[in-house]
A and B are shown apart, each in its own frame.
Chain A
Amino acid sequence: KAWDGSIDGIIQSFKVVAIRKISSVVKILQDYEKSGLSPEDAWNKASVFLTAASEAHGRAVLLSVYKSEMDKRAAVLSPPLRKVLLQLVDLYVTYWALEKVGDMLLYASITDKDVDELQRRYIELLAAIRPNAVGLVDAFDFRDEILNSTLGAYDGRAYERLMEEAMKSPLNAEPVNQTFHKYLKPFMRGKL
């Protein structure tokens, strides 16, 4: 089958990757057992590929559930919000296709041209999401007390807060720490 670069097409490719990895690891297990290994030893020897197969299955589930739940739940949302949420779905799917490009080359029918296209699309999506980035994180609706962060407060006074927090260091309670008289001064006067 030719590569399908749509969101659904890429998710389908992740399923193909999972199918291939699972079928391949079953074959590996069977070959190990045929070579005389016990089922337990065969399992241990194939375990790196077994975890990879599970991860591929999990990745296919994560991607397809994210897409299908968003389709289902976002249907009632306003068009501007739905648009940005679907951009995020697209970004997520594209990001993981590029992260797993080795698997795609090995098990799906992606070509180098398709990869170029995915990369272009990814950069375009970053630009499309950029204007809404702060709005998207504001929507998580964390109060400042919950974020508990000098850098992330709603008002953006990051430098002021960093300085205020620095002043809370117990070392700033006095201009000269007692270790100067006790250790540093005798040490420095010792003229190394």
Chain B
Amino acid sequence: VNVDLQRERAKCNFNVEELTNFLDWGVKYTEKRRNLEQKVLSIKGLLDDTPEEYLSHKEKYENAIRKSVLFYKTLHSTEDENMSIDEKTKLNFRNIVTSAIFKDNSPFMLHNSMFIPTIMGQGTDEQREYWMKRAKNMEIIGTYAQTELGHGTFIRGLETQATYDPDTEEFVLHSPVLSSYKWWPGGLAHTANYCIVMARLYIKGKSHGIHPFMVQIRDEETHMPLPGIKLGEIGAKLGFNTVNNGFLGFENHRISRDRMLMKNAQVLKDGTFVAGSNSKLTYGTMVYVRVLIVSNMANMLAKAVTIAVRYSAIRRQSQPKPDEPEPQILDYVTQQHKLFIAIASSHAFYMNAMWLWEIYYSVSLQLASGKLDNLPELHALACCLKPLSTIDATAMIEKCRLACGGHGYMLSANLAQTYGLATAAYTYEGENTVLLLQAARSLVKAWVGHVKGRPLKGTMAYLAGESTV
């Protein structure tokens, strides 16, 4: 070990393991996480001998698929079925073992992060039982298609049509214009054979809003796209190049009635539309993912600052005092200014993500019993914390790269790729400016209500302090 790093570790005045346990939500989760990492990383063939950067775009994808299959076989064999959702989430908060295998993420990413949670959140009991079994066993690989070429975060602007035909009891999926093509979903291009598609439901010429549909897009045997389905990859991007992001268009493609995920709204055989108790429930998946984004940002920032601080401890530069050796660059206050705030920010995101998860978990239990009171506040909170955590993480990861000078510019430093992954989060699951405007709507409503004498709740309660300011 480098002597400077040894010296640094010797002068640390707290118990490092104690802090690790604290960040992991307890000793139990540190142990579970380390066991999982050990199991996964001891599998031969999962780590690359040739750096990914020297492969072609196509080779990168093929290599990522090879590793994804190996990786998921390992994960499947180690999964503890008895763990609750709460325990699984706590374990996964700091479990980023996938980043050892995929510098630019996995083509199966959306299968776990969006496809399965949407089935869980939007499917009826019967649908959940059928699709979850298939999805968990990897009998099918799925993704989640919401964004279109013409519309992203503005869900009501989506143009993909799902027209119900009561004669055949089928939905006809159609992309009427180029701007209605689904665009961006990970794994959609050549990996997934099923896809949850958000489309506008029409019954007898009347629109009933946006709903989720389970759509088979490729033959389960040949993997060829099904008739009426146009599929492909969207091309090279700033990052995420092994995620296999794709486009999808429909030409009057028919699916059976039971393929609409009907937990929150239903279409009966005769075409009667039964609205859900609250249309906002459809957006549950997005709120869940935004909660996880805050912990993801904590992890990415922690990774970047670990690299930059260790490098700053071993790197020596300049000679401010004659006859003295070059100082460690970590002793320069400008360097500390770049880096220590990144450590603190990562902690701040962890604490906020833990807190937000506990709120989400309790609100989701309330939702299950039909209580919706706290959903708007949770939505507004997620709309604020997702943008701020991604804005700060992106800027600070870039600072970490700059703190490593020219060496930080090397792809082998892994700071550029980490930046690429973080800055993607600025846009996905709700572009940040749009989310801030959504949060503003809640804030303005709360403020106007407060002025009229209505009480303020939860994290907005402090707004009532105006009279005492």
Smallest Cβ distance from A171 to chain B, in angstroms? Answer: 9
**A50: chain B residues within 8 A (beta carbon):** 436-437, 440, 444
Interface string of A65-85 (1 = CB under 8 A from B): 110011001100110110111
**A145: chain B residues within 8 A (beta carbon):** 41, 47, 100
Please judge, given known A-B contacts A51-B440, A74-B22, whether A139 and B414 are in contact too, CB under 8 Å.
Answer: no
Asked if A133 and B343 make an inter-chain contact with CB atoms under 8 angstroms apart, the answer reads yes
Asked if A88 and B344 make an inter-chain contact with CB atoms under 8 angstroms apart, the answer reads yes
B354 at the A interface (CB under 8 A): yes
Which residues of A53-107 are within 8 A (CB) of B? 53-55, 57-63, 65-66, 69-70, 73-74, 77-78, 80-81, 83-85, 88-89, 91-92, 95
**B444: chain A residues within 8 A (beta carbon):** 22, 25-26, 29, 50
Asked if B348 and A66 make an inter-chain contact with CB atoms under 8 angstroms apart, the answer reads yes
Please judge, given known A-B contacts A60-B462, A145-B41, A154-B1, whether A91 and B439 are in contact too, CB under 8 Å.
Answer: no
Interface residue range, chain A: 35 or more
Selected from B24, B306, B389, B410, the residue in CB contact (under 8 A) with A162 is: B410
Interface string of B334-350 (1 = CB under 8 A from A): 00110111011111100
Please judge, given known A-B contacts A156-B2, A168-B54, whether A151 and B103 are in contact too, CB under 8 Å.
Answer: no
Asked if B303 and A146 make an inter-chain contact with CB atoms under 8 angstroms apart, the answer reads yes
Asked if B340 and A126 make an inter-chain contact with CB atoms under 8 angstroms apart, the answer reads yes
Smallest Cβ distance from A165 to chain B, in angstroms? Answer: 4
Asked if A133 and B340 make an inter-chain contact with CB atoms under 8 angstroms apart, the answer reads yes
Asked if B344 and A152 make an inter-chain contact with CB atoms under 8 angstroms apart, the answer reads no
> Which among B34, B315, B463 has the highest number of chain A CB atoms within 10 Å?
B463
Please judge, given known A-B contacts A65-B351, A78-B14, whether A134 and B414 are in contact too, CB under 8 Å.
Answer: no
Tell me, in angstroms, the Cα distance from A57 to B443 when the chains sit together. Answer: 9
Asked if B412 and A134 make an inter-chain contact with CB atoms under 8 angstroms apart, the answer reads no
Tell me, in angstroms, the Cα distance from A16 to B352 when the chains sit together. Answer: 20
**A65: chain B residues within 8 A (beta carbon):** 351-352, 355
Give the residue name and chain of the B residue nearest to A156 (CB).
B2
Smallest Cβ distance from A17 to chain B, in angstroms? Answer: 10
B64 at the A interface (CB under 8 A): no
Please judge, given known A-B contacts A15-B462, A152-B310, A168-B50, whether A146 and B100 are in contact too, CB under 8 Å.
Answer: yes
Tell me, in angstroms, the Cα distance from A185 to B352 when the chains sit together. Answer: 61
Smallest Cβ distance from A190 to chain B, in angstroms? Answer: 32
> Which among B1, B20, B313, B341 has the highest number of chain A CB atoms within 10 Å?
B341
Asked if B333 and A123 make an inter-chain contact with CB atoms under 8 angstroms apart, the answer reads yes
**B447: chain A residues within 8 A (beta carbon):** 22-23, 26
Asked if A165 and B412 make an inter-chain contact with CB atoms under 8 angstroms apart, the answer reads yes
Which listed segment binds A: B78-86, B178-186, B216-224, B380-388? B380-388
Selected from A66, A123, A127, A134, the residue in CB contact (under 8 A) with B8 is: A134
**A140: chain B residues within 8 A (beta carbon):** 20, 23, 302-303, 306, 346
Asked if B313 and A62 make an inter-chain contact with CB atoms under 8 angstroms apart, the answer reads no
B142 at the A interface (CB under 8 A): no
What are 20 A-B pairs with beta-carbon distances under 8 A? A15-B462, A19-B466, A47-B437, A55-B384, A58-B385, A59-B388, A61-B384, A66-B348, A73-B351, A77-B18, A81-B15, A89-B344, A126-B333, A129-B340, A134-B8, A134-B309, A138-B9, A143-B41, A151-B310, A156-B314
**Besides the contacts A19-B463, A156-B314, what 18 more A-B pairs have beta carbons closer than 8 Å?**
A15-B465, A19-B462, A23-B466, A51-B436, A57-B443, A58-B436, A62-B385, A73-B351, A80-B13, A81-B19, A133-B330, A135-B14, A137-B310, A142-B306, A149-B415, A150-B412, A153-B310, A168-B51
